Structure 1
Amino acid sequence: MLCGLASVLRYGNSPAMTKGVGSIGAAAASAAAGGQLPLFLISFRYRNELAPLIERTGRRVIAARRAEAAGRRFIASGATIAVIDARDAEEEAVAACAAMAAAVGSTGSALLVIVDDIASLDRYLAAGATHYLAASFGEEEMRIALAFADRHAERLAGGGRAASVRAALRLSESEAWIWKPGDRMVTLSAALADRIGVATETVPMSMLFRLMDRESRRLAREAIDRLLSTGRSTAFAHRSRALGDRLAHHISYDEERHAVVAWVEVDRRDGEPAGDDGDALTGLPAVDRIRQWVERRLADDQLAEPRCILLMLGIMRFGLVNAAFGRPTGDAVLQGVARRIERVIDRIGLDQTMIARTAGSEFTIALGAPVTADTAELIANRLVESVAWPFVSGDSLIPLSCRVGIAAIDGDARRDAGTLFQRAAAALAAAKHGDTGLVRALDADSEAEAHRRNQLEIDLRRALDHDQIDILFQPQVDIRSGQIMGVEALARWRHPQLGELGAVPLFATAARSDFVVQLSTYVQQRALEVAASWPAHMGNLRLSVNVTAADIAQPNFVDDFLGRVDKAGFPRDRLTVEVTESGLIADLAGAAGLLSQLRGAGLRVAIDDFGTGYSSLAYLKALPLDYLKIDKTLAEDITGSTRDRIVVRGVIEMARSLGLAVITEGVETKAQLSLLAREGCNYYQGYLCSPPIDSGTLEAMVVDQAMSSVD
């Protein structure tokens, strides 16, 4: 068992060696192989006799005589086996089984009940027990019964390897310590070090005792002396002077390492009596309880303002963890997140707090008065740091990131929990989709803006079905001849309330709601269909359509895109693909291969918005291009700024040396056009010729231009 504890105790920022404990790698490997987690025991009458017997089978035990908050305590222990001793306590045992059933089921664990009379087995089975052992058993019978329970939990985890990975992860998040008698120093697990606020995991034994009052120190010394003299496991408990929590230390002696090993059980304080109706996976209070808790504080006129502040924490892209490591490991990670949140909140030392899991990978933390906005922001940032520390899963590390939304009820706002939770959810959404940091606080005004943005995301998904996205075309003009040589297809959103919205807010809204590919596909398809219907006298116009980095990342991108082109009936040799979202293509080599396939199919390729992203030069080096499009921000002041003119001249010369034609966007004046012509630019687009226009207006413009050239 100490090998497993060593991995817990040794993992952290510093690889400090502890005398007699051994290397962290070997300890972690041994723990993963053996699945060395504690066993959770409730024995109403025979704890002192039963716990040592179980330990002789090679198990460490967290033992209790009472069943209060048993489900929550079982989850917090990290155990995968719970044993309930029903001897001479049938009614209490049945109630304990029922209280623990949800926690046992949600964590993929086993619940073994020890019975006096097998005639009562139906009651225990109905209450949630998975295994039983009849009274008058010995050590060997207990060992075999626990082995069956192990196999049950292993199967539920998805096999031996998955179970070992889950065990290692739970061990790495456990609060524990190990001490060799005679040594001045004690080694803490990373989680316990974090709880008591020390930077190193090897500390003087006196530091642990400073957490206790004088009477608790006496009880702790007596418990350790009793363990060393008898060899029998025992426990002591105390209230943490610094943190306020009640900590129970379940101690045993490891003969192989000649060391005292302790598992620390934390009695959480939520400002409310603990119940067994909480979240069956994490052991946190239920959603209804935290809403009631918040509602009572908002209604209490005796409290200082703000009466309650809500933090909503969301794990980013948590589905990838389940996909990569399996659901059981993902569940264990969520349990670890819950424990880390608890430790952060405990260290702040607020008297009135409650934590709940309010969605799959979302947690809500309620802070009661007295609390300040600065304290809430401090807690939020500490939560982000805590969650970001990688979780240990076998030989792998699981990195996570999270976002936190903060919300409070203003003095003149509607005082109800629903409003506060809505505001916190809006703050979390803003933190997830914004670019202003990992933590976002919302007041009433910013909440309204967040709701407006969220509503836009909803409206966008309806817009495609209601044919509210129009395709406009902006002419691209040959600077030498003045003739329209092609057009760029652009999207416009006819929003029923907000009016016409351009491509920038349209695609920004799509990006926030992970809808870019669907929108881009729609725009491409509609543009191709419209252009394919142009009359013969427009048959020489090239069509440019935008392709995003998200498009390129799709499986079968080239085949799907060419399929749309051919289905629409637009000639491939008149189509240009403009690669947008500079800086977002992470795999330039892969993108270059895909764009080369498009060129090989007869299309041309342009790099759009050149000059706006740090990756632009890398694009020129890596991507197969035909055109370079200078962004309008580079060209807008070339007539007034010598510096800008020099930059544009350099870009044009660089493009020419690479054999690329140059298109400048945003040309609005004849002076700009004249200067671009002198510098060697090939084409331009902008309001000097025309704003984006519909297909009918474009056709009339082409006809007028043709007639003017004849005249």
Structure 2
Amino acid sequence: MTKGVGSIGAAAASAAAGGQLPLFLISFRYRNELAPLIERTGRRVIAARRAEAAGRRFIASGATIAVIDARDAEEEAVAACAAMAAAVGSAGSALLVIVDDIASLDRYLAAGATHYLAAPFGETEMRIALAFADRHAERLAGGGRAASVRAALRLSESEAWIWKPGDRMVTLSAALADRIGVATETVPMSMLFRLMDRESRRLAREAIDRLLSTGRSTAFAHRSRALGERLAHHISYDEERHAVVAWVEVDRRDDEPAGEDGDALTGLPAVDRIRQWVERRLADDQLAEPRCILLMLGIMRFGLVNAAFGRPTGDAVLQGVARRIERVIDRIGLEHTMIARTAGSEFAIALGAPVTADTAELIANRLVESVAWPFVSGDSLIPLSCRVGIAAIDGEGRRDAGTLFQRAAAALAAAKHGDTGLVRALDADSEAEAHRRNQLEIDLRRALDHDQIDILFQPQVDIRSGQIMGVEALARWRHPQLGELGAVPLFATAARSDFVVQLSTYVQQRALEVAASWPEHMGNLRLSVNVTAADIAQPNFVEDFLSRVDKAGFPRDRLTAEVTESGLIADLAGAAGLLAQLRGAGLRVAIDDFGTGYSSLAYLKALPLDYLKIDKTLAEDITGSTRDRIVVRGVIEMARSLGLAVITEGVETKAQLSLLAREGCNYYQGYLCSPPIDSGTLEAMVVGKSMSVVE
């Protein structure tokens, strides 16, 4: 075999940089490996494994270059060249064939190919070959004539539509009008959107916005409820018409845009594609060990960020993460890699041989550094962090993609929940721990149905009188095998499985129902329930929350909403308005855990509050150095100046309580009074009980 790149019929040409037009690819054996390599040259690939109607599909794609991969498929490739030659010629385009034996070049030349690239090759050779092809197409264009021909052919022969930004109407090709069953070829854009469900409409609008803002061709796909088919819309911007031009085809999951195979949001392949790629490499006995190393990257607490800043911003962040991952991998320069989004906020990065464990760890650390740079959304900076798990299959044992993905997921789980390190390579302990955590996520969804979540109450005590003035509702999980699990593992499990809002709603409802049944002598107790940033971000938050209160029959004027994780509230003005509505309905509002990473002075200033709750870490500090006491005193004085009462959590000693009383703290809760207790125990404690321990 001879390595090389050339123009059939021309010995040399200068290598021009490629544009951003789509590229049409037919690869009979190696599509999943070839498409990502081409994409790294800046192209958007429309990829297929079959040559059926190749000429029509090439014209419809809007591409100026067609690539046919003839490796291990000479006869099919020659036939495909012949089938596409007329379409390529009439459109003034280039047809590049990838060969593994240059002795067959005359066959491809006779069939209509204009350029060739000989294997073996890498990204550099591919980039140069495409530059030759680009130059060929530019010369044939003759001042735009061929481009106009391509556009005309595209609209006349394809199911296509054209839309000028700002217009309400869209022009359909005759074929598309016939498919969707309309008599006219000019229809409102809303008619196209009616073919889609709500989520698909959102993705379509985002794809069009992406095209208009970047100028890069893109695509979106949806299942048509009316037609009973899945349709793919490949869209690009026509400079001559100043319009968005799209061609539409039935999406048979065989010739989709390679960069959006299952993930229209990020443009990355879906998990099934990367699994196939990994499977092939693991099965290749010619590769050095390890044949493939898999990195699994997970964004920390993305569900809360998504809820706090809104879905569109969350989607933009995911797109940004995908681009950062691509840049890191490109800069490393490995020959065999693939990136995919495997879940909502998780990404897989497969590294093919030759690759070492040290290289994988280097890449993982660079990924962590890249994701850590804040994302900008309007006037907000969104801090982000990630963890990376690393896994390989070496030596004995099962060699399949499923096993490798399980091991990488286990390593990621260990990285997320370990005490140190943002990157974790798999070991036996982390694999077992990941299995345990996965089982917990499954168990949690059953826990609500089986009444395994208990509501406990921790007293809040008036420091001066020693009387219990209220309680905070807390959740405990009675796990059938593991026993009692506290709020930290409970809500951590919920966060991992995107179950936080459902769990929070359940805890609020149960706490309200229990408190509503208290006897008359507990009628003066206030009840505090936690409200998360994710809760506040839900549509109709105020109406739904007040509905739960009224349905339970608990008096609004005895309820306090404790806002947790306030630092994740993106729209402070909007949140302030919602909390003001709660106060207007008779509730009081507290900011929880002041002194942690989720609260700041900005939130005290912006949010309408009645109470400030000092985190237990500050309560512990008050018995420390003079500087520690000054900090606590400053917080209490600031709250008093703002007209807020102060509740300190985690008070465990009389010394802490005495110092807090001296500094002017109003209330406390903690083990000095009582741990969280059930409703019956609370009732017995409240009856005639004074809790004064202030000296």
Hey, what does 1:582 align to over in structure 2? Answer: 566
In 2 relative to 1, CA 247–326 (structure 1 residues): closer, same or farther, beyond 3 Å?
closer
CA contact (8 A) 2:16 2:134 kept: no
SS, match of residue 460 in structure 2: strand
CA contact (8 A) 1:310 1:365 kept: yes
SS, match of residue 38 in structure 2: helix
In 2 relative to 1, CA 595–245 (structure 1 residues): closer, same or farther, beyond 3 Å?
closer
C-alpha displacement at 1:169, in angstroms?
Answer: 22
C-alpha displacement at 1:619, in angstroms?
Answer: 2.1
Name the CA distance, whole Å, in 1 between partners of 2:526 and 2:215: 87
C-alpha displacement at 1:658, in angstroms?
Answer: 2.0
1:549-585, Cα deviation, whole Å (9 max, x unpaired): 1111111111111111111000111111111114222
2:647 is equivalent to residue 663 of structure 1: yes
1:255-314, Cα deviation, whole Å (9 max, x unpaired): 999999999999999999999999999999998897677568768899765453123468
C-alpha displacement at 1:532, in angstroms?
Answer: 0.3
C-alpha displacement at 1:442, in angstroms?
Answer: 3.2
In 2 relative to 1, CA 250–536 (structure 1 residues): closer, same or farther, beyond 3 Å?
closer
SS, match of residue 253 in structure 1: strand
Judge which range, 432-441 or 216-225, deviates more.
216-225
In 2 relative to 1, CA 446–276 (structure 1 residues): closer, same or farther, beyond 3 Å?
closer
1:202-248, Cα deviation, whole Å (9 max, x unpaired): 99999999999999999999999999999999999999999999999
Name the CA distance, whole Å, in 2 between partners of 1:230 and 1:160: 22
Hey, what does 1:486 align to over in structure 2? Answer: 470
1:434-472, Cα deviation, whole Å (9 max, x unpaired): 998986543332233233223222222221111111000
Judge which range, 305-314 or 425-434, deviates more.
425-434
SS, match of residue 635 in structure 2: helix
CA contact (8 A) 1:175 1:190 kept: yes
C-alpha displacement at 1:518, in angstroms?
Answer: 1.0
Hey, what does 1:328 align to over in structure 2? Answer: 312
Name the CA distance, whole Å, in 2 between partners of 1:591 and 1:181: 34
SS, match of residue 33 in structure 1: coil
* RMSD over equivalenced CA pairs, Å: 18.3
Hey, what does 1:406 align to over in structure 2? Answer: 390
1:632-667, Cα deviation, whole Å (9 max, x unpaired): 111124234322222222222222222222111111
Name the CA distance, whole Å, in 1 between partners of 2:168 and 2:543: 69
1:602-650, Cα deviation, whole Å (9 max, x unpaired): 1111111111237432222112111121111111242343222222222
In 2 relative to 1, CA 179–596 (structure 1 residues): closer, same or farther, beyond 3 Å?
closer
CA contact (8 A) 1:491 1:502 kept: yes
In 2 relative to 1, CA 671–29 (structure 1 residues): closer, same or farther, beyond 3 Å?
farther
Judge which range, 301-310 or 518-527, deviates more.
301-310
Name the CA distance, whole Å, in 2 between partners of 1:314 and 1:219: 23
Name the CA distance, whole Å, in 1 between partners of 2:59 and 2:171: 24
C-alpha displacement at 1:135, in angstroms?
Answer: 34
C-alpha displacement at 1:432, in angstroms?
Answer: 8.2
Judge which range, 319-328 or 362-371, deviates more.
319-328
Judge which range, 555-564 or 670-679, deviates more.
670-679
In 2 relative to 1, CA 110–366 (structure 1 residues): closer, same or farther, beyond 3 Å?
same
CA contact (8 A) 2:594 2:614 kept: yes
1:150-206, Cα deviation, whole Å (9 max, x unpaired): 999999999999999999999999999999999999999999999999999999999
Name the CA distance, whole Å, in 1 between partners of 2:663 and 2:122: 95
C-alpha displacement at 1:525, in angstroms?
Answer: 0.6
CA contact (8 A) 2:410 2:431 kept: yes
SS, match of residue 116 in structure 2: strand
C-alpha displacement at 1:681, in angstroms?
Answer: 1.7
In 2 relative to 1, CA 506–560 (structure 1 residues): closer, same or farther, beyond 3 Å?
same
2:459 is equivalent to residue 462 of structure 1: no
Name the CA distance, whole Å, in 1 between partners of 2:382 and 2:156: 12
CA contact (8 A) 1:35 1:167 kept: no
In 2 relative to 1, CA 705–457 (structure 1 residues): closer, same or farther, beyond 3 Å?
same
In 2 relative to 1, CA 304–611 (structure 1 residues): closer, same or farther, beyond 3 Å?
same
In 2 relative to 1, CA 627–308 (structure 1 residues): closer, same or farther, beyond 3 Å?
same
2:242 is equivalent to residue 258 of structure 1: yes
CA contact (8 A) 1:166 1:329 kept: no
Judge which range, 367-376 or 186-195, deviates more.
186-195
2:169 is equivalent to residue 185 of structure 1: yes
Name the CA distance, whole Å, in 2 between partners of 1:499 and 1:365: 38
SS, match of residue 419 in structure 2: coil
In 2 relative to 1, CA 61–177 (structure 1 residues): closer, same or farther, beyond 3 Å?
farther
Could you tell me the percent identity over the aligned residues? 97
Judge which range, 256-265 or 623-632, deviates more.
256-265
CA contact (8 A) 1:97 1:124 kept: yes
Name the CA distance, whole Å, in 2 between partners of 1:659 and 1:52: 60
In 2 relative to 1, CA 147–161 (structure 1 residues): closer, same or farther, beyond 3 Å?
farther
Q: Which runs of 5+ in 1 are unaligned?
A: 1-16
2:106 is equivalent to residue 130 of structure 1: no
Judge which range, 334-343 or 21-30, deviates more.
21-30
SS, match of residue 2 in structure 2: coil
1:419-446, Cα deviation, whole Å (9 max, x unpaired): 2121123445677899989865433322
1:519-543, Cα deviation, whole Å (9 max, x unpaired): 1111111000000000111111111
CA contact (8 A) 1:75 1:281 kept: no
In 2 relative to 1, CA 92–219 (structure 1 residues): closer, same or farther, beyond 3 Å?
farther
Judge which range, 119-128 or 184-193, deviates more.
184-193
TM-score normalized with structure 1 length: 0.57
SS, match of residue 335 in structure 1: helix
CA contact (8 A) 1:37 1:171 kept: no
CA contact (8 A) 2:45 2:257 kept: no
In 2 relative to 1, CA 114–491 (structure 1 residues): closer, same or farther, beyond 3 Å?
closer
CA contact (8 A) 1:408 1:443 kept: no
In 2 relative to 1, CA 152–197 (structure 1 residues): closer, same or farther, beyond 3 Å?
same
Hey, what does 1:148 align to over in structure 2? Answer: 132
C-alpha displacement at 1:513, in angstroms?
Answer: 2.2
Name the CA distance, whole Å, in 1 between partners of 2:209 and 2:3: 21
Higher-Rg structure is 1
CA contact (8 A) 1:582 1:613 kept: no
* Selected match of 2:490 from 506, 511, 517: 506
Judge which range, 576-585 or 419-428, deviates more.
419-428
Q: Which runs of 5+ in 2 are unaligned?
A: none
C-alpha displacement at 1:37, in angstroms?
Answer: 3.4
SS, match of residue 28 in structure 1: coil
Name the CA distance, whole Å, in 1 between partners of 2:142 and 2:301: 22
CA contact (8 A) 1:71 1:280 kept: no
Hey, what does 2:672 align to over in structure 1? Answer: 688
SS, match of residue 96 in structure 2: strand
In 2 relative to 1, CA 407–686 (structure 1 residues): closer, same or farther, beyond 3 Å?
same
1:69-115, Cα deviation, whole Å (9 max, x unpaired): 99999799982997999999999699749999999999999999999
CA contact (8 A) 2:328 2:366 kept: yes
In 2 relative to 1, CA 295–238 (structure 1 residues): closer, same or farther, beyond 3 Å?
closer
Name the CA distance, whole Å, in 2 between partners of 1:517 and 1:230: 36
Name the CA distance, whole Å, in 2 between partners of 1:400 and 1:666: 29
C-alpha displacement at 1:599, in angstroms?
Answer: 0.9
1:124-154, Cα deviation, whole Å (9 max, x unpaired): 9999999999999999999999999999999
Name the CA distance, whole Å, in 2 between partners of 1:41 and 1:704: 82
CA contact (8 A) 1:271 1:352 kept: no
In 2 relative to 1, CA 625–231 (structure 1 residues): closer, same or farther, beyond 3 Å?
closer
CA contact (8 A) 2:295 2:360 kept: yes
SS, match of residue 290 in structure 2: coil
In 2 relative to 1, CA 624–380 (structure 1 residues): closer, same or farther, beyond 3 Å?
same
Hey, what does 1:706 align to over in structure 2? Answer: 690
CA contact (8 A) 1:166 1:328 kept: no
Judge which range, 571-580 or 47-56, deviates more.
47-56
Judge which range, 72-81 or 642-651, deviates more.
72-81
In 2 relative to 1, CA 202–363 (structure 1 residues): closer, same or farther, beyond 3 Å?
farther
CA contact (8 A) 1:33 1:164 kept: no
Judge which range, 496-505 or 443-452, deviates more.
443-452
CA contact (8 A) 2:611 2:646 kept: yes
Judge which range, 201-210 or 628-637, deviates more.
201-210
CA contact (8 A) 2:281 2:292 kept: yes
Name the CA distance, whole Å, in 1 between partners of 2:340 and 2:366: 17
CA contact (8 A) 1:34 1:164 kept: no
Name the CA distance, whole Å, in 2 between partners of 1:581 and 1:239: 38
